[in-house]
Structure 1
Amino acid sequence: MPHAFVTYFTCLLAAVGPTYAASSTYGPELQGFQYPYPVEHFSFQSQGKSLQMGYMDIPATGTANGRSVVLMHGKNFCGATWEGSIKALSDAGYRVIAPDQIGFCTSSKPEHYQYSFQQLAINTHQLLEKLGIQKATVIGHSTGGMLATRYALMYPTQTEQLGLVNPIGLEDWKALGVPYQSVDQWYQRELKLSAEGVRKYELDTYYVGRWKPEYERWVDMLAGLNKGPGHTQVAWNSALIYDMIFTQPVYYEFKDVQVPTLLLIGTSDTTAIGKDVAPPAVKARIGNYQVLGKQVAKLIPHATLVEFPGLGHAPQMEEPEQFHKALLQGLNAL
């Protein structure tokens, strides 16, 4: 490791305080990592394979309002990372379903799978049918925002409301000049994933330079899953998922979303897939959520925009009290 990076990283650790040793290893379906609520598994057939989808099903702890919320996690997140939002929504009277999509976290990671947002939406819809949920508010964060949008497009009569928390896909990166990376390239990159790399990326991109000790749990989760016994299996599925994200934009269909939509945007977010390999001129113009949130709010017919100035990619984790107050007010107003 270059001396300059060692010096930088040492200074960074000193600045952010004590961190996990990030020496944990977890099974290919995140065995060994503690979820905030009991994890159940939905078994089903898809593309000729027997798969299992991990999920949490949390009843209302406050006065039940008869409504259900489905929380869709992002690419570098899991159902577990919705912990604070699950509690806030459950306390407010919602039944909360937080699945891990196929290829992620506590769910199956098939060797061969044609990933599409349509397929993941179908999987989720089958889970909700099994749970007897006929209509739900669907909230997606990051890549989960792309999936939640696809779900609302496919199942408009069964989507009560749509919530998008710093969703990626608010622009089409390939159309803007980001170079295509093959699945093999993504795979080689994912094989090298480390706790230090995860932490630095999240510090720079997600939390805009403000690190909190509680984020270490999620670094440990990702790094421990990647370097566990399912190392190559996890990396391969991750590569396939990156290809799905890059090649299957929902951007052009925002105009077709008919359900009431709440956009919750941390304006200092700079997330964009492939930004690190983009030419300087392209890199400078993508991932600008200060602009993107406003643009997409105009594209979606029934959208309400709530901005969080100065917050990054995960406002629900950065400032949970502020975020959840806005979320609950927004859902009640839609």
Structure 2
Amino acid sequence: MAKSRQALQEASSILPLPEYCMTKRLLTVLLAGKVRICCGNRVYLQVGRLRLRRLKNLIPFTGGAPMRAAKIAGVLMSLALSGTALAETPGYGQQLEGFAYPHPLLKFPFDSQGQSLEMGYMDVKPTGKANGRTAVLLHGKNFCAATWEDTIKGLSAAGYRVVAPDQIGFCTSTKPEHYQYSFQQLSMNTHALLEKLGIDKVSVVGHSTGGMLATRYALMYPKQTEKLVMVNPIGLEDWKALGVPYRSVDQWYERELKTTAEGIHAYEQKTYYDGRWKPEYDKWVDMLAGLNKGPGHKIVAWNSALIYDMIFTQPVFYEFPRLQVPTVLMIGDADTTAIGSDIAPPEVKAKIGNYKVLGKQVAQMIPGARLVEFKGKGHAPQMEDPQGFNKALVSELQ
């Protein structure tokens, strides 16, 4: 990466605008059509969906001494041959084969709805002084167990055993052709895993869709739930009751088949990170895009569609007052996530996904709930500010 950056800096410091424009055809051919060049007051180079995002994605070329076309081509060809900046989105297997998890990936085989299934999960021992407690981390819809990497590190250092499963239909777990998805079923699957591991009591931490699942788990297994923590959970409102149109499973499926890395990046930057982006997020885009690009992309898209239908039609919102366990809401207040906002009428879209308001409202609905707000953070505060998030989480779990 350092050599790639150096090559770009060299080009940007000596490349004059007129001559660069004249070499457009040559460079486009050399880089197999992956160059997009805009000539004008400034010139920009973009190479595919490249990992050049790590180099700010668009590199300005602002002039300098004259440069021969061959030298320009040579600089950019060396960049291409480095393989670092020009790598395309990888394609991963149906169960995310090929993507590296931060801890050993284990498998839990079990039978459900007449099928033999398996859940991928990580079971991480404490790295700090063991406190005898366990935290189970439940991922969101566009996330995997692996995206809890920094949270696992923080909890493990604080003495917790950490279990992070991939739910059925997600990431490293089975994606059935037919499955009656419900938060109750996913809760039962998670409970079966914990029973198999000999874990009687847990602190349940759920993010995004995992927050809805964590709520359902706490409602079903209050005696096994030591504490419930919801991190920017979706489901703090009932979108369909607020006027968001229904999308059929078939419509979700057609939408999911069109998933691309560019689309994931654009959506997450706008909705999850309030317009910001860090290089660390790139691998999570590659994870999702690679899963949707791989040989199992159709079954991945089908399960995704079934899961979206579950999320939209099975609200937990009305049951928040029934929670009987100590509950903490951890909310990045710049979050704007709302299922179906892309097809909602303008007047509906304007009033959904306002986490600055939703967090406070739901905290009032849950008996004895605590609210921890991360000012200016988006949908994933555990990824935007791992250190600050871990400090707050460990404090709330004590």
- Whole-Å Cα distance in 2 between the matches of residues 15 and 99 of structure 1? 29
Residue 342 of structure 2 aligns to a residue whose secondary structure is: helix
- In structure 2, stretches of 5+ residues that fail to align are 1-36, 39-43, 58-84
Displacement of 1:57 in angstroms is 0.2
Match of residue 3 from structure 1: none
Matching of residue 17 in structure 1 with residue 56 in structure 2: yes
Match of residue 266 from structure 2: 200
- Map 1:1-334 to 2 at 5 A: 17=56, 21-332=87-398
Displacement of 1:240 in angstroms is 0.1
Q: Once structures 1 and 2 are overlaid, which stretch shifts more, 122-131 or 18-27?
A: 18-27
Q: Once structures 1 and 2 are overlaid, which stretch shifts more, 11-20 or 171-180?
A: 11-20
Match of residue 62 from structure 2: none
Displacement of 1:64 in angstroms is 0.3
The TM-score, its normalising length taken from structure 2, stands at: 0.80
> Cα 1:269–1:20, aligned 2, differ >3 Å: closer, same or farther?
farther
Displacement of 1:22 in angstroms is 4.2
Poorly superposed stretches of 4+, deviation over 6 Å = 6-9, 11-16
| Equivalent pair of 1:72/1:98 in contact (CA under 8 Å) | yes
| Equivalent pair of 2:272/2:335 in contact (CA under 8 Å) | yes
The TM-score, its normalising length taken from structure 1, stands at: 0.95
- Whole-Å Cα distance in 2 between the matches of residues 75 and 22 of structure 1? 24
Alignment length (residue pairs): 328
Amino acid at match of 2:296: G
> Cα 1:219–1:15, aligned 2, differ >3 Å: closer, same or farther?
closer
CA deviation string 1:109-168 (max 9, x = no partner): 000000000000000000000000000000000000000000000000000000000000
RMSD of equivalent CA atoms: 1.9
> Cα 1:211–1:291, aligned 2, differ >3 Å: closer, same or farther?
same
> Cα 1:20–1:225, aligned 2, differ >3 Å: closer, same or farther?
farther
Displacement of 1:331 in angstroms is 1.2
| Equivalent pair of 1:22/1:223 in contact (CA under 8 Å) | no
| Equivalent pair of 1:16/1:211 in contact (CA under 8 Å) | no
- Whole-Å Cα distance in 1 between the matches of residues 201 and 385 of structure 2? 29
> Cα 1:21–1:271, aligned 2, differ >3 Å: closer, same or farther?
farther
CA deviation string 1:235-267 (max 9, x = no partner): 000000000000000000000011001110000
| Equivalent pair of 2:333/2:373 in contact (CA under 8 Å) | yes
> Cα 1:250–1:9, aligned 2, differ >3 Å: closer, same or farther?
farther
Displacement of 1:330 in angstroms is 1.2
Amino acid at match of 2:318: Y
CA deviation string 1:88-113 (max 9, x = no partner): 00000000000000000000000000
> Cα 1:163–1:283, aligned 2, differ >3 Å: closer, same or farther?
same
Amino acid at match of 2:287: M
